[in-house]
């Protein structure tokens, strides 16, 4: 697949022609700092890895098997997706952290018109109104914390760039070949062009 500069979007032109504003390198956690029974996950990378396959029952069970003080960070998708009905039965027995961007997404759509998981709707509405909940908390990163101040913007930018590149490469492939690419074809192309 050839890059056609006439068909690049402004975002893809920026990505392919600009140097990064800042490169942040964070060391992996020290083995002694990882709680017993936990395993570190690999650092997010520029290209997508293999998706993790989970059934609803497995996710439900894993949430219930977690220590009672576990806090789960969720994406808006967990509210919007009907498949997570059972997952919420377990999540409401733990703490759920919502980032400001997810909170905005909920306020702009799901809270006014819940399309799925209506059984937790009132719990969320009460939390938004009272700003207190036995389940939910708004996660406000401390900007003075160096790890947070550097890592959060880095990973947000990384995730956004990956999502945009994935769509850009898929569209280019479809336009040139007339068929949707497989995930492996998209990943190979991203590695060849951008990594």
Query: Would you say residue 37 lies in a domain?
Result: no
Neighbours of 69 (CB within 10 A): 7
In a domain, 71, yes or no: yes
Mean pLDDT score of the chain, rounded to an integer?
79
Same-domain status, 104 and 71? yes
The pLDDT confidence band at residue 3, using thresholds 50, 70 and 90, is: very low
The angle formed by the CA atoms of residues 187, 191 and 195, to the nearest 5 degrees, is 140
pLDDT for 27 beyond 70 = no
Q: Are residues 83 and 149 in the same domain?
A: no
Is the confidence at residue 187, as pLDDT, over 70? Answer: yes
pLDDT at 109 over 80: yes
Whether residue 2 is contained in a domain is answered as no
Neighbouring residues of 194: CB distance < 8 A, sequence distance ≥ 6: 15, 16, 46, 165
Boundary residue ending a domain (122, 140, 158): 140
Q: Is residue 104 part of a domain?
A: yes
The pLDDT of residue 117: 94
pTM of the model: 0.57
Q: Are 129 and 158 in the same domain?
A: no
- Report which of residues 32 and 130 the model is more confident about: 130
58 & 133 share domain: yes
How many domains does the chain fold into?
A: 2
Burial class (CB in 10 A: 0-12, 13-18, 19+), 92: middle
Is 8 within a domain? Answer: no
State the residue range of the domain holding 134. 54-140
pLDDT for res 193: 74
Distance CA 5, CA 3 (A): 6
pLDDT of residue 156: 74
159 found inside a domain: yes
- Please identify, among 101, 122, 140, the residue that sits at the C-terminal boundary of a domain: 140
Same domain assignment for residues 127 and 81: yes
pLDDT over 50 (residue 2): no
């Amino acid at each position: 697949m050839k890059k056609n500069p006439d068909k690049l979007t402004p975002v893809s032109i920026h990505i392919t022609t600009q140097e990064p504003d800042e490169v942040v390198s964070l060391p992996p956690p020290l083995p002694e700092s990882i709680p017993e029974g936990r395993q570190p996950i690999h650092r997010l990378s520029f290209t997508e890895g293999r998706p993790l396959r989970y059934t609803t029952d497995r996710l439900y069970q894993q949430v219930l098997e977690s220590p009672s003080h576990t806090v789960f960070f969720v994406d808006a998708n967990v509210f919007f997706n009907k498949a997570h009905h059972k997952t919420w039965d377990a999540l409401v027995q733990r703490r759920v952290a919502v980032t400001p961007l997810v909170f905005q997404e909920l306020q702009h759509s799901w809270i006014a018109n819940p399309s799925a998981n209506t059984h937790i709707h009132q719990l969320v509405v009460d939390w938004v109104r009272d700003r207190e909940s036995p389940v939910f908390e708004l996660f406000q990163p401390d900007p003075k914390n160096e790890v947070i101040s550097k890592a959060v913007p880095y990973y947000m930018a990384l995730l956004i760039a990956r999502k945009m590149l994935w769509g850009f490469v898929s569209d280019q492939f479809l336009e040139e070949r007339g068929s949707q690419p497989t995930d492996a074809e998209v990943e190979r192309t991203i590695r060849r062009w951008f990594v």
